[in-house]
């Protein structure tokens, strides 16, 4: 097929940008952490200055906060700048949140999933988009994925449009809709026998439970890549066993495709420090390692619609040490889910979802969803073939123990299936308690 000349130029630039990114990332992670942050600081000063001059929202927000671009000299100064919310992006799009010097037609468009109840459009310049897609490939390659391999994607919105190198046999992929009957998708998977399997943890866990030991032996993927939701350790173990391959956690978002991914050695999440500053702030005033906080991202290279101290709504902890794999940079020791998914207690604490997952994970239970209706009432939907009184009492007592509330009302509701929300994700915990 002969491509339009403009398309050919775009594809050549993409390929060149991705190769350059891979070379830069390899060099970057061999540098000491201090040098990496010095590089981020140089890029940050330029990004903040450009945002102030080109984006009306930032000029107004900085002035209201009493700061100027000159106040930010390093990543340690980011706390001086105001945070950016999804509501502000939605209200300001496009005129007040997009760079006036960047044509909208030249930007890559993406849309958030709507998990928080709001769908937003985000614009990225092509060099930034290309760099992030190169990092997505690199994350797979660390586990043995190669350009010739075939990837099978289970998605909510499957499509078949590929780029020129897909059509000549590089980074090939096929997809299936998660709305299909799971048994049908298992059959297709066994027929295809891909090298990489990609999807959301809850769906991969469902498919892995349907594979028999004989069918498991017919699959030989190099990795199973899970993203879009929290994958706890027990779910991860089940997926690895079911697909006979390492289950790898990858963290990203529509706003900035690649944020972190596991390494093969310690299986901890290495942060993207190439074109992003990722903060985990307990109090809004800078990252504190070892403490739980909200994730903020600052884009260092996006000239179309730069996001500065943007609140993702997720909660995590930055590790206090570096990884033994030899790659330098900060690590996320754990992602605890969305801030809105924390369970509130009567004494004012906020408890992350993983504290409760083990209380409802036992033989005979295939899935669960925890819904906090009130501060003193929790409904637990459980997918099970049967729940005897002893198991029911064990779950209730363990839940009350973790909550630290012996009088909490715990209601167990058996269901046939737990449906994902309108964004296609299945949240493990939903809290309806006002914050």
> What pLDDT was estimated at residue 168?
62
> Where do the structural domains in the chain lie, given as residue ranges?
342-431
> What pLDDT was estimated at residue 1?
38
What pTM value is reported for the model? 0.82
Could you give the CA distance from residue 63 to residue 401 in angstroms, rounded to a whole number?
Answer: 48
Three-class secondary structure assignment of the chain: CCCCHHHHHHHHHHHHHHHHHHHHHHHHCCCCHHHHHHHHHHHHHHHHHHHHHHCHHHHHHHHHHCCCHHHCCCHHHHHHCCCECHHHHHHHCCCCCCCCCCCHHHCEEEECCCCCCCCCEEEECHHHHHHHHHHHHHHHHCCCCCCCCEEEEEECCCCCCCCHHHHCCCCEEEEEECCCCHHHHHHHHHHHCCCEEEECHHHHHHHHHHCCHHHHHHCCCCEEEECCCCCCHHHHHHHHHHHCCCEEEEECCCCCCCCEEECCCCCCEEECCCCEEEEEECCCCCCCCCCEEEEEEEECCCCCCCCCCEEEEEEEEECCCCCCCCCCCCEEEEEEEEHHHCEECCCCCEECCHHHHHHHCCCCEEEEEEEEEECCEEEEEEEECCCCHHHHHHHHHHHHHHHCCCCCEEEEEEECCCCCCCCCCCCCEEECCCC
* Alpha-carbon torsion, ordered 428, 433, 434, 435, to 10 deg: -60
Write out the two tokens for 378. 């929790």
> What pLDDT was estimated at residue 90?
93
Q: Is residue 338 within 8 Å of residue 315, measured between CB atoms?
A: yes
Q: What is the CATH number of domain 342-431?
A: 3.30.300.30
* Alpha-carbon torsion, ordered 216, 218, 222, 227, to 10 deg: -50
Q: In DSSP terms, which residues pair with 315 in a beta bridge? A: 294, 337
- In the chain (435 residues long), the average pLDDT of successive 10-residue segments reads 51 77 87 94 97 97 96 95 94 94 91 68 93 91 93 79 63 86 91 94 87 78 90 85 93 91 90 94 77 92 97 89 88 76 85 73 77 91 82 88 90 83 71 82
> What pLDDT was estimated at residue 258?
92
């Amino acid at each position: 097929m002969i491509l339009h000349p403009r398309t050919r130029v775009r594809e050549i630039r993409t390929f060149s940008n991705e190769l350059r990114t891979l070379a830069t990332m390899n060099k970057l992670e061999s540098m000491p952490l201090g040098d990496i942050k010095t590089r981020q600081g140089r890029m940050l000063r330029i990004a903040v200055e450009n945002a102030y001059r080109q984006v009306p929202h930032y000029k107004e927000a900085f002035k209201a906060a009493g700061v100027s671009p000159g106040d930010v000299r390093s990543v340690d100064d980011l706390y001086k700048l105001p945070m950016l919310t999804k509501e502000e992006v939605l209200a300001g799009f496009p005129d007040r949140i997009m760079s006036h010097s960047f044509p909208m037609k030249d930007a890559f468009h993406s849309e958030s999933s709507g998990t928080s109840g709001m769908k937003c459009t985000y614009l990225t310049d092509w060099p930034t988009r290309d760099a992030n897609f190169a990092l997505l490939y690199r994350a797979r390659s660390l586990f043995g994925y190669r350009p010739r391999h075939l990837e099978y994607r289970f998605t909510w919105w499957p499509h078949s449009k590929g780029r020129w190198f897909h059509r000549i046999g590089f980074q090939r992929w096929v997809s299936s809709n998660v709305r299909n009957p799971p048994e049908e998708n298992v059959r297709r998977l066994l027929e295809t026998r891909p090298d990489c399997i990609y999807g959301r943890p809850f769906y991969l866990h469902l498919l892995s439970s349907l594979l028999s030991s004989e069918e498991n032996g017919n699959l030989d993927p190099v990795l199973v890549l899970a993203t879009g939701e929290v994958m706890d350790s027990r779910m991860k173990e089940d997926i690895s066993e079911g697909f006979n391959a390492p289950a790898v956690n990858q963290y990203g978002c529509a706003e900035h495709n690649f944020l972190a991914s596991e390494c093969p050695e310690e299986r901890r999440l290495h942060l993207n420090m190439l074109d992003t500053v990722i903060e985990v702030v307990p109090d809004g005033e800078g990252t504190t390692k070892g403490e739980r906080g909200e994730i903020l991202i600052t884009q260092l290279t996006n000239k179309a619609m730069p996001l500065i101290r943007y609140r993702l709504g997720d909660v995590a902890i930055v590790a206090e040490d570096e990884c033994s794999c030899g790659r330098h940079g900060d690590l996320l020791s754990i992602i605890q889910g969305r801030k809105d998914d924390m369970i509130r207690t009567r004494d004012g604490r906020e408890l992350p979802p993983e504290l409760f997952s083990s209380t409802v994970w036992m033989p005979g239970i295939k899935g669960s969803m925890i819904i906090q209706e009130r501060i003193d009432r929790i409904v637990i939907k459980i997918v099970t073939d049967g729940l005897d009184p002893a198991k029911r009492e064990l779950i209730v007592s363990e839940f009350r123990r973790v909550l630290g509330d012996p009088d909490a009302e715990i209601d167990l509701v058996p269901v046939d299936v737990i449906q994902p929300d309108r964004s296609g994700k299945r949240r493990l915990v939903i809290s309806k308690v006002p914050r």
